[in-house]
Structure 1
């Protein structure tokens, strides 16, 4: 029965970038639980997207279109019969931020201002917003429809002492472009913006990674719980 299907949340992590030969967001993604059971409620399945999101404009667009295509996703740590046909209801995108020692949950993404070249020398595709472009007529900012302050507050209660804040500056780098791309794809399909971006610290010590896993689990549960209220 469709009513008994779990709620699926797709979880994405980034690839190494600049001087970093690792990305803690992808490590956290790979260690996140595949399932969260909630007594009396539908379970939550976390679909770990099996590819690290690269610093590449077109590939980011391709990935965001893939996750919202309506096709079932097969995650890297699952892919069994119970999860093969699940379609994500929400997306939690993640990336690593070196300028902040804590976790930051982003609220919106800007359309313009991206100056960095991608990992294949690709430049920002401004034609996306021109006449006939994929995102023609889209506003200069797109906001998550999720209640980010409420989600962040819930996570603070679930993970006592964690350094997690609401951010209004995603950084105008590929992380922000990824958030804009996923919100734009949802808007293009006339769907609500049920996606959010989490910046995680660069600390790759085992205890720091485990804290990141706890934070992700709490965010995912808070997103779904708050939406069901």
Structure 2
């Protein structure tokens, strides 16, 4: 906390009092301005009322003068006497116009008066019903008396009835024989070789069949006559005992 902040904190009460005085002074200034404005408006109203009072006095005098002139010539004035046409004309034409002052202090409350007399019982004042009137004649049916009204809404579904008796066993007729089916398409050959190949005996084993490409030339025989590894493994004379 700085020195300035510490000083302001110690004198915070003085700041609050100053703020309260400023607010009070502002309120008093606004009240004085309102009072001055009200006094100015009251002065303007009094001035306008005085002008209207002078105008009423002048017009009343002119009407009286005209009436006297017409009566002097033997005529009857059409306008009535202002004093008779306007109630309390002298008070209304008084200038300056009396303006009511501010209301005075409230008076002392008077003593409570005596209680009033008890009223009569309300049962005695109840009106007694008169005799019943004669019965009226029955009304005639209207023009639309024969017209049926709209149909009402459908009622709820009732409970299910008991099950009916079992029916008789029926006798069925034999069905007709069905038509013969169509012959199936020819099946494939029994060979397992893919397309373009066929079963052929190998040159070194006529009892076997292998898949070879169709149209492929036969392999040339080995000129050395040396059996291959497969032939050596299958040669029955490969084992010779002493």
TM-score, normalised via structure 1 length: 0.14
Greater fraction strand: 1
TM-score, normalised via structure 2 length: 0.14
Of the two structures, which has the highest relative contact order with CA contacts closer than 8 Å and spacing of 6 or more? Answer: 1
